[in-house]
Amino acid sequence: MQKIEVMSRGNEGSKGKGSGRQGGSGSSTGKGGNRRNAGSQEHTSNTSGRGSASTKNTRGGKNQVVGTSRSGNPVTKKEYINRKKKETTATAKSDAKGIRLNKYIANSGICSRRDADIYIAAGSVTVNDKPVIEMGYRVQPSDEVKFDGRSIEPKLKEYFLLNKPKGFITPRSGEKASKTVMDLMANASTSKLHYVGRLGRKSVGLMLFTSDLELANSMNNPNKKVRQIYHVALDRSFKHEDLMKIRNGISIEGEEIKVEEISYVEGGRNNEVGIEIHSNQDNIVQRIFDHVNYEVVVLDRVVLGGLTKKDLPRGNYRFLTKQEVINLKMSF
């Protein structure tokens, strides 16, 4: 049975210690090891030239292989540089023509591009103090854009990962509470942040916050499949027959609920379960276990769209790297 790896609640934010010492008795860098390695290197240098005249140079210069294309073909350094030059030229030409007005508004964090088109058509946007209702209008760097009379400008999109602690709610639009997840992110950015992956007051674990409204709306869409893994503690021992029932698929209120994987937590108690789902529906995990007559005592999201809690203590947040943002957008 496949096991779902989840992080123990007591080990959050801790880095694993090394598995051994360098230069120990098992190391090959001892006296004999050095002689053997030296001999091996001499043999390699003496034989590396034989039969290699026709092989492609991958160790340096413009023919060095630096990666693979989407089709799996090797990409050389020269090919990569040429491609980047073309991309830079294309971007420069695009910038010279300006940026589309709806994208300009969306990048300022006010609304999505689709909503921006509605505001533009309604005459809520001016460029250089003149109303613009033309779809596809391009803003130049010297232009001043106003939305409802207020000057706006695009901002760099930001992405944060929060390890939510217990006791904070995720407010819906217009909802007020004394302790919310937005309080935890108050000092993270001057931009308006939108959350991804709503969690209740008693739930803990990963949430994403971003000024990228389009990404947030897309990931929060119930029809989108975003990979999530939860560490669940139940009110009593979890029977194997109920585990198999959930694994084989259950129907809640006439709707088929698909669980990608479910298993007991390795090294945990018999009431601790790891469950992987790709659904964005509210309270879906609680509904699943409620259907088989269990109460969820602890709900900890340990994976969200490929992001994990590694080295992120409870109650803390961090920036996402550029590569993490790319991977996230490709994951759904």
307 domain residue, yes or no = yes
Give residue 36's region: left, alpha or beta (phi > 0; psi -120 to 50): alpha
**Residue 166's closest CA among 12, 299, 44?**
299
Query: What's the token pair of residue 18?
Result: 């090394």
Say if strands 272-277 and 204-210 run parallel, antiparallel, or are unpaired.
unpaired
Query: What's the token pair of residue 181?
Result: 């997840």
Domain count, the chain: 2
Residue 65: CB atoms within 10 A of its CB come to 15
Q: What is the pLDDT of residue 214?
A: 85
Q: Give bridge partners of residue 300 from the DSSP assignment.
A: 204, 231
Model pLDDT for residues 168-205, shown as the tens digit of each residue: 999 887 677 789 999 999 999 988 899 999 999 999 99
- Tell me, yes or no, whether 244 and 314 share the same domain: yes
Read off the CATH number of the domain in which 287 is found.
3.30.2350.10
Read off the CATH number of the domain in which 102 is found.
3.10.290.10
Q: What is the pLDDT of residue 135?
A: 87
- Tell me, yes or no, whether 100 and 205 share the same domain: no
Q: Tell me how far CA of residue 97 lies from CA of 129, 138, 152, 270, in angstroms.
A: 20, 7, 20, 62
CB 236 within 8 A of CB 228: no
| Structural domain span for residue 262 | 159-330
- Tell me, yes or no, whether 257 and 313 share the same domain: yes
Q: What is the pLDDT of residue 224?
A: 87
Name the stretches of the chain with pLDDT < 70: 1-62, 66-67, 69-70, 84-96, 174
